[in-house]
Chains A and B, each alone.
Chain A
């Protein structure tokens, strides 16, 4: 078989394979949306309808009227924003220090941040539980926001460090030669250039906090303090079938992160590659 024929065969096979993969990705997402908007009569049947001509907002209205769902959304948003703001600010400073300044121990400290990012939540949740309970921070959104810093700070630091490293230092040096202070060079030259990287870090930190499950599930017990993760989870363990409402909640929970992903696609791929591949 010639090279050209091999290529053609590979293309056809590859595209077919990709088509199958795309369907496998798409179907569960389609199913979430469909379950959220189709009437209950078409949902709880052994022959579930694969399409509906009579979409309804019944599930969504029930979700809000039967549960403090608006509180859960608000709490999620609050924890996420507080945590993101701190993480991005602290991470920017740390990554500037690690990528632009030379001092003893820099290599080690840089490794430390990465190391910390990889320490899994399943290892930390019990000691964190003990600490939070000692300081009466269980069932407290500040307490939860603090624990989220365990992964957002190292993550932001790591991807920003990779991003800063990719920006040539020459411009800052030139500015400093012309009399700018180091701080001015950082503020006026590096930060504007690094804006896409900072945006990526913020989006990632937002997504990580918004999607977090284990800590929220364990550290929050009061229904009114719930974020979306524990909130939606409680619906699963009820006695009645609430799948319409659960899927409606799932749609609402996904919208902010998917919105960010689509509108910040460019930044996200930058962040992913800087953080996961180059970093």
Chain B
């Protein structure tokens, strides 16, 4: 009966129902699409696009806080920076800080995620618990560690002394060789849960048949990890690592609140140097030049990550 009905419709009356694809593809669709995008797009162009380009313009000017005008000085800000030892120290430090932090966060996060992926009692609760350091305000985390690192009354020294790991109380944040490890530890404490929980979500989407097949083949625990687990979470790992690299590279709060870049530049990174020059020294133009110098690398990372995530989207 349905065949006769459709046959009749084809021959006699024009089709009542326009095919859906066509209806969805109407120009009105595009119009509506743009209209709904406008508020968000306008806001990010004004609030991010404009400052982003403005920062490049500013970096070629002498612009001071409280002075409305800015005078063009060409590359002077950059020349000042490149001949300044403090700049190169900050560059070195930011690579050490980021490299070491991210590497340890990745290893630690992977281990924790693999363990949490086992059939554990109260796994849901454990998962929320592991996420705690990441959910807490950065400020709270950093102030707490600063208090624990306190050289006179800090619990860190007390516990280390009790455990016999050190003989005298140490000024963790005030000693050149200890300050960098100290800030890295805080960054790791705060950041590894993000790795662990994101990777756990990745692990949970690995089909269990893969593991069963591995069991039949007699794969050992390590082999199983290398040949089954790792390849399947590698894409997630790459995304999470890149994200964390960008965040760590630009971290300000942890370092500023713990050491303010000190002692004598031992933990100075580009973000704290930017702040010191721009706000502390009121030289906005020169300060912004610091962040502009790291733009190329940052853009590279961001574009890479955007590509990777949009490519994943398309496959889904």
Contacts and interface: CB of A to CB of B under 8 A. Distances in A.
Contact of B139 (A119, A122, A213): A213
Interface stretch (B5-13, B95-103, B126-134, B175-183): B126-134
Interface string A102-139: 11101101111111101111111111111101000000
A154 interface: yes
A262 B63 CA distance: 47
Interface string A133-173: 10000000000001101100110010000100100000001
B43 A118 contact: no
A272 B33 CA distance: 26
Given A18-B115, A109-B37, A246 B147 contact: yes
Interface string B244-276: 001101101100010000000000001100110
Nearest to B49: A116
A149 B47 contact: yes
Contact of B124 (A109, A211, A265): A265
Contact of A253 (B48, B139, B154): B139
A64 interface: no
Contact of A31 (B30, B111, B155, B306): B155
A277 B115 contact: no
Contacts of A154: 44, 48
Contacts of B23: 176
Interface in A216-258: 218, 228-229, 232-233, 236, 241, 243, 246-247, 250, 253-254, 257-258
B287 interface: yes
A279 B315 CA distance: 11
B135 A261 contact: yes
B174 interface: no
Given A28-B145, A258-B136, A126 B302 contact: no
A217 to B, nearest CB: 8
A94 B55 contact: no
B33 A31 contact: no
B144 A28 contact: yes
A91 B198 CA distance: 23
Given A28-B148, A93-B40, A102 B24 contact: yes
Q: Chain B interface mostly helix, strand, loop or mixed?
A: helix
Given A103-B34, A127-B288, A213 B298 contact: no
Interface residues of B, number: 114
Interface residues of A, number: 108
B306 A118 contact: yes
Contacts of A232: 139-140, 143
Given A91-B40, A109-B37, A277-B236, A131 B51 contact: yes
12 contacts: A18-B115, A97-B35, A97-B36, A101-B29, A123-B52, A127-B58, A146-B47, A147-B47, A214-B253, A246-B147, A258-B136, A277-B239
Given A101-B30, A273-B198, 18 more contacts: A21-B130, A28-B141, A31-B144, A44-B153, A91-B40, A104-B30, A110-B310, A118-B301, A119-B48, A122-B270, A123-B292, A127-B50, A127-B52, A150-B48, A176-B20, A213-B138, A232-B140, A276-B194
5 tightest A-B CB contacts, nearest first: A101-B33, A127-B51, A103-B30, A94-B40, A120-B250
